[in-house]
Amino acid sequence: MKIFKCEVCGHIAFNSLPDKCPVCASPKEKYVQNDAIFKESSEKSPEAEVKHIPAITVSKQCGLIPETPCVDIMVRIGKTMHPMEEKHYIMFVECYQDDKYISRVEFTPLSVNPAACFHLKNGSGKITIVENCNIHGYWMADVNL
């Protein structure tokens, strides 16, 4: 799979370049292709896997949005919780449906846990979660709904 990274905001695009970055609106010239970006992180710090690979839980009984058949994608980083300290923290989590970007949650280090929830209107297909640690780089996980 082709993987592109926006050099301005760190957004990841799968398969093809967007015309402009959906997060920071930078032009596509700001993207750099790196198909091994996830592999590089796990090779650099294999012992860090347990604290970085997103742990995904799917809930089809959402209580927050009862008006629609909402499907919750709940994410924590990672199986052993990742630190959230000024010097070492999760910068953002991005969510994709069938490789198409749908949402991002950004974090500040001190007040929040490394976790996010995405409330999908259409709970089908493959969901991919990408996270970016300020020290250990990019990690991902996916789940089929």
Look at residues 73, 64, 69 and name the one whose alpha carbon lies nearest to residue 97.
73
Look at residues 122, 70, 74 and name the one whose alpha carbon lies nearest to residue 100.
122
Interface characters, 122-141, with Fe ion (x: CB under 5 A) = -----------x-xx-----
Comparing CB distances to Fe ion, the nearer of 58 and 81 is: 81
Using CB under 5 A, count the residues that bind Fe ion: 3
Tracing tokens 């001190």 back to the chain, one arrives at: 110
Residue nearest to Fe ion (CB): 133
Pairwise CA distance, residues 23 & 9, whole Å? 7
- Closest approach, Cβ 94 to Fe ion, in A, equals 16
Q: Does position 53 bind Fe ion by CB under 5 A?
A: no
Interface characters, 63-82, with Fe ion (x: CB under 5 A) = --------------------
Size (the chain), residues: 145
- Closest approach, Cβ 51 to Fe ion, in A, equals 6
Distances (CA, A) of 93 to 29, 52, 61, 73: 23, 11, 23, 12
Binding site for Fe ion (CB under 5 A): 133, 135-136
